[in-house]
Structure 1
Amino acid sequence: MIKVGYLIAYDYHYVFNSLPHIYSYVDQIVFAIDINRKTWMGNDFDIDEDFFEKIKNFDLDHKISFYEDQFYVEGEKPIDLDTRERRMLADYMGHNCWKIQIDSDEYCLHFNRLITYLKKNRFLLKKTAPPVNFLPTWISLFKQVERGFFIIQPYHEVFSMVSNKPQYKYARNAHGMDIRINYNVIHQSWARTDEEILTKIENWGHSHDFDVMTFYQKWKDLNENNYREYKDFHPIYKGLWNSLEFVEAKDINELLLKLERRTNLNPVKVSSKLKKMRLKSLFHIKY
């Protein structure tokens, strides 16, 4: 089985951009929501009641379920709570399946090609298989303005999204063998309203790792006239965000259509390392 887990919090509405791209290709989808509506910083958030009605209307195949638990623990660091919630969600999703954790603002274009790749490697779901994590690459959106979107260049920020036996150690990073795959995920990330950006940087797992207000002001000052001046500007990791590209689009849907024409056009390649592992599994050789 292929199961997807979403962490649902203050930016829950973005999930309606994400779900249509993955819904028909997976077996189950689980939404994890803090039962007390608390962020990892302990701040309150609200979810409109019509959200649940919209999900019900969307979920024609009855794939979506809700997992509510206490994910905020007073006195714990936000990043530790991030990791803890992902562990709890993975446990809730069960065993002997592919587990894919997608954030609400992540959009998987040509998702069928990733699913084909997972099916080719179904031997990794055997009890004897080692833990393996597949790492796609983010195409991160940094800001939306009236005429379009700024996109972070180059695309080389990888993240752990798919695991056979996830044992999360730091957010989505998990123990086991990490394998990079030639698959890109659109990350709306910073392309939000002013108010949403403040909420994000004050509540996400890295909120204690950098000067929030300095970064917010730099984001706010960005425009079509000065974006070429933004060089190596990641607030934590040097060399990760080198520059910005501007793509004209009236909204996120138009942008996704444009990116769909140039993203994930080729099948996801199976690495030589996995081919060797598959052969071992056929002959029942220990890894």
Structure 2
Amino acid sequence: MKIEVGYILSYDYSMFLTSVKQLYEYVDKIVVGIDVDFKTWSGNSFEIPDSFFDEVKIFDRRNIIEFYFDSFYIPTLSPMECESRERNLVLKKLGRGWKIQLDVDEYIYDFKEVAKYLNKYWYLNILPNKTPVCIKGKLITLYRELHDGYLFIDNNEQFPFITNQTFNTHTRRNDNIKNYFSNIKVIHQSWARKEEEIMLKINNWGHRDDFDTQTYFLFWKSLTSSNYQEYKNIHPLIPKVWNELYFLPSKSIDDFICKFSNNNNQSLIDLPLIQIIKGIIKKMIGRI
């Protein structure tokens, strides 16, 4: 059964290849959604140099990366609504099989083990409308890039990102089907960017209107490898979600991924097949 990946790409295009390199050898197709007018979900313009597409073309020796251009910014929709719409449109571009939904700053290290895990459940894709599944992973959130390493959050923050369906109810989430935790660890470069990139991020992402972005930016900017232990509960929307910061000395993002993966194997949790089977039987009985 195929494993395919859908990406959302805009101003943070430079992180794309770091993410793709983690999984490229083990997937069958990669679809990358880009707004045809190079607009963010907030309607701001961004640029992607031709050199980026040239670099991807050279990298894509298997010819499995497809750029999907469409109108993803709709002025009458909120940024979050635009995000949900784009993710669904990209999802529909993927074929039958496991569909992985990623942002370009999300890195699934040791993907060989993840591919084995998904292939173990190939039969859930034979009749996906009968066995709807959404799989959640665990985020390792990089919070700040410093001259001597990275500040990051490693707790039990879960997020849905793998499915055998073609529709989400909200962003990558589908509230109409069962969600199962797999413990697939995904390094998220989220806030570990240059200052100008963070300002661009918080002014254009789906949560733009949900908190005081300027005040939070100043707090983020003040953190160092010397004072980070003084702060707890730092998530801008739900403070306790990011309850504690850690620091890992590293020279680059590739160095961080390597060091972190060496000390944190992908310890995957089997899907509860009994629950899935019971769900199928319940649906069948309900239709009799």
Specify the SS of the correspondent of 2:245: strand
In structure 2, the residue matched to 1:221 is: 222
Specify the SS of the correspondent of 1:16: helix
In structure 2, the residue matched to 1:103 is: 103
Q: What are the residue-to-residue correspondences of 1:202-217 with 2, within 5 Å?
A: 202-217=203-218
Distance 1:4 1:249, change over 3 A: same
The answer to whether the Cα contact below 8 Å between 1:117 and 1:269 also exists between their aligned partners in 2 is no
In structure 2, the residue matched to 1:277 is: 276
In structure 2, the residue matched to 1:21 is: 22
Q: Distance in 2 between matches of 1:249 and 1:13?
A: 19
> How many Å apart are 1:92 and its aligned residue?
1.8
Specify the SS of the correspondent of 1:29: strand
Q: Distance in 2 between matches of 1:92 and 1:61?
A: 18
Greater shift, 172-181 or 121-130, is seen at 121-130
| Counterpart amino acid of residue 110 in structure 1 | D
The answer to whether the Cα contact below 8 Å between 1:232 and 1:242 also exists between their aligned partners in 2 is yes
Specify the SS of the correspondent of 1:246: strand
Distance 1:280 1:152, change over 3 A: closer
| Counterpart amino acid of residue 277 in structure 1 | I
Q: List per-residue Cα deviations over 1:26-50 (Å, max 9, x = no partner).
A: 0000111000000000000000101
Specify the SS of the correspondent of 1:45: coil
Q: What are the residue-to-residue correspondences of 1:1-287 with 2, within 5 Å?
A: 1-94=2-95, 96-127=96-127, 128-153=129-154, 155-175=155-175, 176-266=177-267, 268-271=268-271, 273-275=272-274, 277=276, 286=284
Q: Distance in 2 between matches of 1:275 and 1:236?
A: 36
Q: Distance in 2 between matches of 1:265 and 1:6?
A: 22
Q: Distance in 1 between matches of 2:266 and 2:202?
A: 33
Query: Structure 1 unaligned runs (5+)?
Result: none
Q: Distance in 2 between matches of 1:265 and 1:98?
A: 18
Q: Distance in 1 between matches of 2:169 and 2:76?
A: 19
| Counterpart amino acid of residue 8 in structure 1 | L
| Counterpart amino acid of residue 80 in structure 1 | E
TM-score, scaled relative to structure 2: 0.93
> How many Å apart are 1:93 and its aligned residue?
1.7
> How many Å apart are 1:183 and its aligned residue?
1.4
> How many Å apart are 1:166 and its aligned residue?
4.0
Q: List per-residue Cα deviations over 1:123-182 (Å, max 9, x = no partner).
A: 2112252321100000000001111100114x2111111000142122111231100112
Q: Distance in 2 between matches of 1:242 and 1:286?
A: 43
> How many Å apart are 1:75 and its aligned residue?
2.5
Specify the SS of the correspondent of 1:109: coil
Q: Distance in 2 between matches of 1:136 and 1:14?
A: 20
Q: Distance in 1 between matches of 2:143 and 2:207?
A: 17
Distance 1:211 1:224, change over 3 A: same
TM-score, scaled relative to structure 1: 0.93
> How many Å apart are 1:279 and its aligned residue?
9.3
Query: Structure 2 unaligned runs (5+)?
Result: none
Q: List per-residue Cα deviations over 1:50-80 (Å, max 9, x = no partner).
A: 1111011000011111110000001311011
Q: Runs ≥4 in structure 1, deviation > 4 angstroms? A: 278-281
The answer to whether the Cα contact below 8 Å between 1:109 and 1:264 also exists between their aligned partners in 2 is no
Q: Distance in 2 between matches of 1:219 and 1:183?
A: 27
